[in-house]
Amino acid sequence: MHHLESILRETEAAVAAIASDLSSPQSKIDKIQRSIAAALDELKDLRLEFDADSDVANWKGR
């Protein structure tokens, strides 16, 4: 859950960057792209496992 919270914070920061200053759009876009890439890297590292008895049996994130 910690990873998901971290990803959420990074995403919120990226959205805030868009809303806060549009004076230099390209630098903002670059910063947002880096934030999204970092969040995607974190998502790739997540391994979610569910019990065989759960609604989603033995799903693993890849």
The pLDDT tens digits of the residues spanning 26-40 come to 877 888 888 888 888
Q: How many helices (H) and strands (E) in the chain? A: 2, 0
The larger pLDDT score, comparing residue 6 to residue 49, is at: 6
SS3 at position 40: helix
pLDDT of residue 1: 59
**How many other CB atoms are there within 10 angstroms of residue 7's CB atom?**
19
pLDDT of residue 62: 46
pTM above 0.75, yes or no: no
Q: Tokens standing for 24?
A: 């230099």
pLDDT of 4 higher than 50 = yes
